[in-house]
Each structure stands twice: as structure tokens, then as C-alpha cells.
Structure 1
Amino acid sequence: MKKKLFVIFGPVILAFLLIAVFFTSSYRVNVSDPEIIHKAASSMSDNVLRGDIIKNTAFAEKQYVPFLGSSELSRISPFHPSVLAQKYERSYEPFLLGAPGTQSLSQFMMMRSASKELKNKKVVVVVSPQWFVKEGVKEDYFSTHYSELQTLDWLFSIKKVTPTDRYLARRLLSFSIVSDDEEIARILNTVKKGLTPGDKELAELEDKWNILKREDELFSGIGLTDKQNRIDQATKPLPASYEKEQLAKLATQIGSSETKNNPFALKNEFYTTRIKNHLNELKDSQKDWDYRFSKEYSDFQLLLQQLANEQAEALFILPPVNEKWSEYTGLSQEMLQGFAKKIKYQLKEQGFQHIADLTKMASVPYFMEDTIHLGWQGWLTADQYIQPFLEEKQAKSSYHMDDAFYSKDWQLQSPETLPEK
């Protein structure tokens, strides 16, 4: 009888014992290993984006600079920031924090959970126009990159509820992955009302928080996507020394050779796999799209508030949309200029002065790799802002934040009513 019981329950008991040993042991990802941090810097793996230990360890080192964005960061070419930094042995290494769907809300959570390491640090942010659809980040994108650990980091840090906290609580509750968690939703509703979470409420989440932190320590270094070989390969066509004119010619040469099979100057493979078989249905398909009125503007304010809290210096890059493609789909370039005006107003009105507005370069050959992502000339142009910003001393910014940017009035405000900044 005892033998039968052991056969039935023994494996379960053994599994629980192994888990207990694993979680209580002193083992953790070896963040003192520079190879792990270096690999993570270009991996854009979700366990790094949603975790704390690896990115926070990297940000504590001067050489690693947060590069926030979305899918454009994953497109490695000879002019990608990681490639140029490696080839020309610059004083910084980009730590890429982006994937499809990592918009302002996810980026804020990543930066907030690294608040100590972000202090007085430089940051580069690529702000994509297509984030700014009416409802902001899509539910499935947000859910993919949602970090319960970073949410609990924030909740346990609250000493006094601010307008930022209240807006964040309301925004998080609008996503089912958060609202369906009864324990977290209950505390978020408390914060939404302007009340500080009680010790008893937080105590109910403390075990979960500790387990998530332990999982981050154990597993965040596992399965890192290794892009280093792609970066190494991308450095090979580059000249030995950084000469802008020579690099511009190379960008044109590579761009020309890789966009031969379509009239839109889209990368050949992208056109073949994503566009060619849908070309007729895409004609005039974007004529009603509008990026001037969106919840994303208030989500973006979360990120700005966090950067200001830590007195970080940030460079914001505003990319264009491929003009040949926008003419075909009906996407208004005039509307895109309205988006740029509104974003620049929000930035400059609060003291953020480092802005690379590239939105008027939509017609420059080989500026874009495809419809919306920076390409050969685009990244090279962006580098004219990135390198001096990161390698030269910058005057200390003076931030004066305005909670009105969390309001629905701001989300819906027309750029035409704003003064030029």
C-alpha cells in the first residue's frame, strides 16, 4: 500500500521539494558576467523586457544606454545604432528595449522599475507615429509584454498617490490581463481613487512579488536571443573610419540593391512576403487613419514623467512614413506633420529639448527600409543626432511637468490649435 502511494504521490512531492530547493537556493543569473549583459543588450527578449535584474544591472554601468522603441530596433543593418557603436568603438553600447507592441505604457513600466539606475542617465527614444491610433496600444500587444513584476514594483513603491499613479491605475484596469487579476485590480481601484494601498492589501501580494523577483533572478538569462552574429556580419561592409559622405554613398548602394522588386522602395523580402499578394486591397486603405487624437499621448506622458523624475536626459527620434507608400495607401503626410507638432509641443512645453524630427524626410531615397521602419539613410541620419547626444556633455535640462497631459482634453486636442514650439 505504501509503495502504491509513493508511486502515485512521490513524483509530485519530489517536484515540490525540487522547486522549494530551487527557489530558496542562492543561485541567480550571473549578472556579473559581462557576456550575459552584452548578449542581453541586443536580444530584445521578453524575459529581459519584463524583468528587472538584467536591464537594471546594465543601466548601472555607464556604457549601456537604454534605446526605447518598438519593432524598428530589431531590424539589424550596417547603419543600426548597435552596429555603428560596435564598428567605431564608441563609448556607449545601446541596450535595446523594444519589440512589436512595446509602446509608451510598456516603456514607462520598464523605466520605472529601473528608477535608481536611470538617475541622471542618457536615454534614446524612437517615437513611432503608428502608436498613436485612437485607443493607443492594442490589448494583445499590451498583454504580450505585460510585466506583473514591474506592476508590483510600482505598487509597493507608492508612498503618496500622485496624478501619475491615478492615471496609470485607470489605464492598467482597462486591460483584461490586469483587471481579471482580482488582487491586483482591488489595489488598483484603491489607487485610482487617490488612496494609498493599505499594508494589509499589499501583504496579500508580497509572496507573489517575492516569487516573481526570484523567477527573474533564476530565469531571465535563459534563452536570450543572440543577435551578436548578425551585428558582427553587419559591420563588415562599413569603412574602417567613420566618414559621413562615404557612409551615405554606401547606404544608397545597399538600399538600392535591396529594394529592386517594387516601386515603393520597400525591402525586397518585405514586399514579397507582406505586400505583394495584398497590393490591390491596400490601395487607399489608410486614407482615414489619424494619429493626432489618441490615448497614447497620455501614455507617453507617463514615460516623460519618469524621465523627469530621475533627471534623465533623453533624445527623441520622430521617424517619417515612406512617402511613396503613403501616397499609395492614402495616409496623409499633412496629418503626420500634425502628429509631429503635437508631440514636439508636449516635449518642449515640459523642458525636453533634444528632438530629432525626421518626419519631413519621407521622400529621401532609402531613408526607410519598408513602410514605417527606419532604413539605411534613416539610421545614418539619426546617428548624426545620436552620437553627439551620447558622447558630448549636455546642458542639464530643467523639467516642469504638467498633469494636464493626462487628460482626455489633451488626447483630443487638435495640433492646429497649438503654437509652434
Structure 2
Amino acid sequence: MKRATAALLALVLALGCIWGSGRYFRGQLEGSLQRQLIYDTSLEKNYSPNAFSALRDESSLLVLGSSELTLHEESTHPQLVFGSGNSDFNTVLLGVPGTQSLNQAINLAALSDQMANKKAVFILSPQWFYKPGVYPETFASRFYLQMFDAFMKNEQVTDETKRKILRRCKELLVKDPERKKQVETYEKIYLTGDLDPLDYLQLGVGNLFSGLQSDYNVWRTQTYPHQQAEHRYTPFIASVKPSETTVHAGEIDWAALRQQGEEQGKSLCTNNSFYIEDKYYQQLIRARGYTARNSERDSSFKVSPEYDDLRLFLQVAKELGIEIMLVSVPVNGYWYDYTGFPQEDRKQYYQNIRNIAEQNGVQLADYSDREYEPYFLRDIMHLGWKGWAYLDEQIYQFYQAD
């Protein structure tokens, strides 16, 4: 009896310590670290809904995307344009390489309760829409339990939509039995009613631990930036400081910003005829050499399960009452012509996105006619100096519109 009492007391004390630590780290993310998290694009941030508390400010707008969100050296990146958080308007960034439509549908529902501004921007990448869609390993690597937990608890998302997303999650987690089991446990508890008290207890304790871990990891990356996790995918430029004076977004000279992007792009694209940034061209393009020519002749974006994942994302947004602006980013026409990727297939992809936007009644920032515009992209797929300049303005206009 004494042993049982002692074990129970130890468990209560342990859970109390976890709960107290969790409150501390959550307080840090929602307090002193909030501003510097607005433009952070570390992998760790994506695990924790608490890292997005800046969305509670009506002057903040959620921008969802993937690898293009990372700041390289573009002076037109929204982090620099809007003063690294010291602005009367800010974009809160969510997305890392491999984050696609289904992941972002879950993330949107996880954060919707925090969003004072019921608008969001979703930047699409054509490369998501190859025939296989998102790869199971990629989806699993961007499946975050804390985000999924908040998604499942969001009562604004209908059971029908949750079932569709759960079905798709289970398909994609086939090679990750641990995460698949977590999804199935949520399904039993929240949808099928097949409630097992032990499952519920395990889930609750597991969430307590994972919540503490995710909040701690975000806190660590911000407090000790030199101690990054091994899986951090790319160096975030942490040396960028907030503007010394408040940036007033309404006073930005957008034409001058585009010209600035033109000049910076021209200075950084000097060693190739594809308008690709020099370092990228040296590291990735020259390494492939002659094998890249006509290597994409049989590729296509015409048919892909990613289209249905995008429709699921838009259905979630509709149920949440969140207004969406999709962003259709082009490919680098010079490079895609070189690799032989059929123009007709590219045109069909752009039209598919237009159709989905129209059918779902959402706004579309359509840049598909800029495949051959120098410096719109920084490489073969990512927004570059001029691309960000155009999009910064359109995002701000979207934010201002009634």
C-alpha cells in the first residue's frame, strides 16, 4: 500500500513539474519571444501552436507556404520589408520545405482560434503537383502532433471533413506506424465513439509531454540560437534586427521596392542565362551538367492527388470562416524549357489552380504569366527579389480589403 501511494505521489509530482514547466515555456512564447517568432522559419516553430500567438493581433496575417518562406538575402522578403516585426502590419510565417496542402489544412485549423484576423495567404508550389502528390515520408516528417491535436479539437471543422483528412493521413502514414496509431486513436476518441479510457489517458499524458517538448524546443532556438537541433533544415538568418523605427506599411513605395528587387537580382545572377542566382546555379545546376537537358520531357503537373488535398484545405478554411488568398507561383520558364518540361502541361496546371480558386470562391494572386520575367524567381522555383516585391504589395492589399 505504501509503495502504491509513493508511486502515485511521484506520478503526481512529475506531472505537476511538467505542467509547471509547460506554463513557463508557453508564457515565454506568448510574451517576450512573441515578436521575434513572427518571421522565424525554424523547423521547431512549426511543432507548437503556442509559437503563433502573434496572430492574436489583428494587424498580423498568417502566410502559409513551404521553402520559399526562408529568408536568404532578398531585401524584398516580408521580414525586411515589414521591419522584422516592428511594423503596423506583419505577416506571420508558417511552413518549411515539404509542407504541403494537407499539412497546412491541419495547421490552419490548429491556429484558427488564435487568429484575430480571419484571413490567410497560401503560397502554392507547382512541384507539389507531380503525379504522386506529397510523398508519405515527406508528409510524416511534417506531421506535428500538437497541431493535429488542436485540429481534432476544433469544433468548427465538421466531422465529415475530419474523416476525409483522417483517411488521407492514414494513407500517407502507412510507413510510420507510430504516427498512424496516434491518428487512429484520435479517430476513436473524437469520431467513432469507441472510447477506451486507457487510450484517452495515454493520449492525454503523451500530449502533455509532447507539448512541453515542442514549446521547449522553440524556446531554445530563440534563447540559444547557436544550439540548434540537428534536424534544423536550413540556417535562418537570425542576424536581422527589428527596424529602429516603426515601419508604416501604408507608406511603402511599392514601385521603388520592385526596382530594388530588379537591381538586387541583376547583381546576383551573373553566371548563367537562366536568371538563376549564382550560388544556386553553381551548387545544384552545374552539378547535374548536361544530364538536365530534356530530363523532364515526360513530367507533368496535370493530374495529382495534391489537387484534392488543396480542395480539403479550402474546405477547412470555409468551415472556419477564414478568407483565403492563394498564390500561384510560376516555374522558371527558361530552365523548364531547357529540361523539356512540356509547356502545355505547365499551362494546364496554372488553369487547374484558377479553376479551384474560382470554384471555391477564393482570391488568387496569379503570377503564372511571369515564367520568363527576370528575377521574379531566385532559382528554378522559389520566389526571388521581384517576386517578393510583387507579393508583399498584394498581401498588404488583401489585408486591407474589406
| 3-state SS in 1 of match to 2:324 | strand
Q: How many residues align?
A: 370
Write the distance in 1 (CA, Å) between the matches of 2:348 and 2:189: 34
Is 1:69 matched with 2:61?
Answer: no
Task: For residue 131 of structure 1, report the CA deviation from its aligned partner.
Answer: 0.8
Partner of 2:347: 337
Partner of 2:278: 268
Q: Is the 8 A contact 1:64 1:95 kept in 2?
A: yes
Q: 1:376 aligns with which of 368, 373, 385?
A: 385
Write the distance in 1 (CA, Å) between the matches of 2:200 and 2:372: 53
Q: 2:315 aligns with which of 305, 312, 315?
A: 305
Partner of 1:393: 401
Q: Is the 8 A contact 1:119 1:311 kept in 2?
A: no
Amino acid corresponding to residue 54 of structure 1 in structure 2 = A
Is 1:25 matched with 2:9?
Answer: no
**CA shift digits 1:15-52 (9 cap, x unpaired):** 99996664143552234765411221222222221211
- Structure 1: 5+ residue stretches without partners: 1-14, 236-240, 395-421
Q: Is the 8 A contact 1:124 1:315 kept in 2?
A: yes
Partner of 1:321: 331
**CA shift digits 1:184-225 (9 cap, x unpaired):** 254367599x73453645344222123223334444322146
Q: Is the 8 A contact 1:251 1:366 kept in 2?
A: yes
Work out the percentage of aligned pairs sharing the same amino acid.
24
Q: 201-210 vs 379-388, which deviates more?
A: 201-210
- Change beyond 3 A, Cα 1:272–1:35: farther
Q: 1:114 aligns with which of 102, 108, 111?
A: 111
When the two structures are superposed, what TM-score results if normalisation uses the length of structure 1?
0.78
Task: For residue 114 of structure 1, report the CA deviation from its aligned partner.
Answer: 1.4
Q: Is the 8 A contact 2:39 2:85 kept in 1?
A: no
- Change beyond 3 A, Cα 1:62–1:320: same
- Change beyond 3 A, Cα 1:115–1:360: same
Q: 1:79 aligns with which of 76, 81, 104?
A: 76
- Change beyond 3 A, Cα 1:118–1:248: closer
- Change beyond 3 A, Cα 1:261–1:221: same
Task: For residue 74 of structure 1, report the CA deviation from its aligned partner.
Answer: 0.5
| 3-state SS in 2 of match to 1:315 | strand
| 3-state SS in 1 of match to 2:286 | helix
- Change beyond 3 A, Cα 1:230–1:262: farther
- Structure 2: 5+ residue stretches without partners: 1-9, 226-235, 246-250
Write the distance in 1 (CA, Å) between the matches of 2:351 and 2:357: 10
**CA shift digits 1:337-389 (9 cap, x unpaired):** 2112212222221221x211001111111111100011111111223311211
Larger Rg: 1
Amino acid corresponding to residue 65 of structure 1 in structure 2 = L
Write the distance in 2 (CA, Å) between the matches of 1:312 and 1:159: 11
1:149-298 → structure 2 map (5 Å cutoff) = 149-157=146-154, 162-174=159-171, 175-176=173-174, 178-181=176-179, 183-184=181-182, 186-187=184-185, 195-198=192-195, 200=197, 201-224=199-222, 227-230=237-240, 242-298=252-308
- Change beyond 3 A, Cα 1:231–1:329: farther
- Change beyond 3 A, Cα 1:189–1:177: farther
Amino acid corresponding to residue 65 of structure 2 in structure 1 = G
Q: Is the 8 A contact 2:65 2:123 kept in 1?
A: yes
Q: Is the 8 A contact 2:29 2:219 kept in 1?
A: no
Aligned-residue RMSD, C-alpha:
3.1
Q: Is the 8 A contact 2:38 2:85 kept in 1?
A: no
**CA shift digits 1:275-294 (9 cap, x unpaired):** 11212111111122211211
Q: Is the 8 A contact 2:61 2:117 kept in 1?
A: no
| 3-state SS in 2 of match to 1:43 | coil
Q: 2:358 aligns with which of 332, 339, 348?
A: 348
Task: For residue 306 of structure 1, report the CA deviation from its aligned partner.
Answer: 2.2
Write the distance in 2 (CA, Å) between the matches of 1:87 and 1:173: 38
Amino acid corresponding to residue 63 of structure 1 in structure 2 = S
